[in-house]
Amino acid sequence: MYSLLLRQATILDKNSPFHLQKKDIFINDGKILQIADSLSVSENTRIIESQNLSVSIGFVDLRCSVPDLGAEHKETLQTARKAACRGGFTHICVLPNMSPALDSKDSLQYILQKNEAHLVQALPIAAVTLKAKGEDLAEMIDLHYAGAVAFSDGLQPITNADILLKTLLYLQPLNALLIQRPEDTLLTRFGQMNEGITATYLGLKGMPALAEILIIQRDLEILRYTGGKIHFSCVSCAKSVDLIRKAKQEGLNVTCDVSALNLYFTEEKLTDFDTNFKLNPPLRSQADKEALWQGIADDTIDVIVSDHQPQDTESKILEFDLAQFGAINLQTAFLACSTAKKQVSLEKIIEKLAQKPREILGLPIPTIQENYYADLCIFDSDQEQIFTTEQIISLSQNSPFVGEKLKGKILAVCRNHFCEIF
C-alpha cells in the first residue's frame, strides 16, 4: 500500500478529461482517488513536486531483448524490469531470441509466471518459427492462446517469403500481430555500419539502406496479396518511411516503430570506433534521422521503442568488426526522445511510447481519471542530467548515452498496488 500526492502535475493523457491541465493528483493503494486544482492530504502521504512535473500513463516497450534463458549474465528479467521501471515503462515486450526460444507454451509461461509480483509486466513475443531460425513454423495458434502478445522472429528477419505469406494467413483469424524486422541479410552480410561516406572513410563494410527497403517493398506486396496486418520494427531510413506512408494512404493495415537510438544518434558517432554505437539497424545519416522525425510528426511512425539489446564486456570491448551489435536503452529511451525531439511535442512522444503500443497490441489503455487504477509515469520534463555508468541498472554496460546530457528525469512509476519513487 502507498499514499501519494502529485502536486501541480501536467497531465499528458489524451483520453483524460484533464489532458494538458495542471492538477493535484491523489493516489491511494493503487487507485487515483482525487484530481483537483488543490488538495490537502494527511501527514503520511508522500508528496512529489517539481518545477515541471508531468504525468502520463506508463510506457510500453514493443522491442526488448532479455536473454534471461541462455545468457542471463547479460540481462535477467529481474534486472530488465528494474531498468525499465527507471525508464518509465510499466510493460516490456520480450523478444523470442532466448535459448530455448519463446516457441513453446512452457517458455511463454516462464516469462508470464511471476508478472503479478512485479510492477513491470513482461509480455512475451512468440517466435514465428522454431528457435526463431526461419525454417519451420511454430505452433502459433497454441502460442496465441498461451499468452503471446505478438509474433516475430525478433532479432532475426523473416527472409523466407513463403513463411511470411503463410504467417500472415494463419494469424488473420486470431487477429494477431506479425512483427517484422526488415533486413535482407545477404546484403548486410559482414556489414559493420551504415553504407556511406563515413563507412568509406573508416574503412568499414557498409550495411546499405537498400537491405531494409527491399524487404519492406516485398512484405507490402505480400500484405496486398494476403490481407491481414504487419508491423515493421526499427525502420531506420528515409525511403522506408516513405514506403510505409504511401502504404497507409493506400489503406493497407501496416504499422511501424523506430528505435530511440536512431532518433538521437547518427553514423558520425562511429568515427572513434566506439562499439557501443555498433547497432543493427545501424545509425544512419542526418537526412535519414530527419525523415524519421518527420515520420513521428505526421504519424507514419506509430511507436518509439528502446531496442534494448544488452551485451556483456566480452561481446563489446574488442575489435570493432568482432564486436556484437546492440545497446542497452530501457533507462534512456524516453530521455533521448525528450532531448532530441525539436519541433515534435512532448505529447506526441508520450503517445508513441504509451498509447500507440497498447492500441497495436490490443491491450487495455489506462487513463488518468478519478477511481481508475494507477498506471503512471511521473517525470520532470525539463530537468537535465549527465548520464553516467553509475546510473546503469542493467547487468550489461553497453550504453551509448554515457556522458550525454539528457533532458527529463523519471521521478516515479506506479502500477496498481506497486509504486517506485526515485
Kindly list the catalytic residues: 307
Output DSSP code: residue 156. S
CA 266, CA 270: separation in Å to the nearest integer? 8
CA angle (85 as vertex; 324, 411 as ends), nearest 5: 125
3-state secondary structure 298-318: CCCCCEEECCECCCCHHHHCC
**164-168 long-range Cβ contacts below 8 angstroms, 24+ apart:** 164/219, 164/222, 165/222, 165/225, 165/226, 166/137, 167/128, 167/137, 167/140, 168/222, 168/223, 168/226, 168/227, 168/228, 168/230
- Helix or strand run (H / E) with residue 214: helix 210-226
124: which 3 cell numbers?
A: 512475451
59 close to 355: Cβ distance less than 8 angstroms: no
408 close to 401: Cβ distance less than 8 angstroms: no
Strands in 275-374 per DSSP E: 303-305, 372-373
Q: Please state whether the peptide bond connecting residue 281 to the residue before it is cis, i.e. omega within 30 degrees of 0.
A: yes
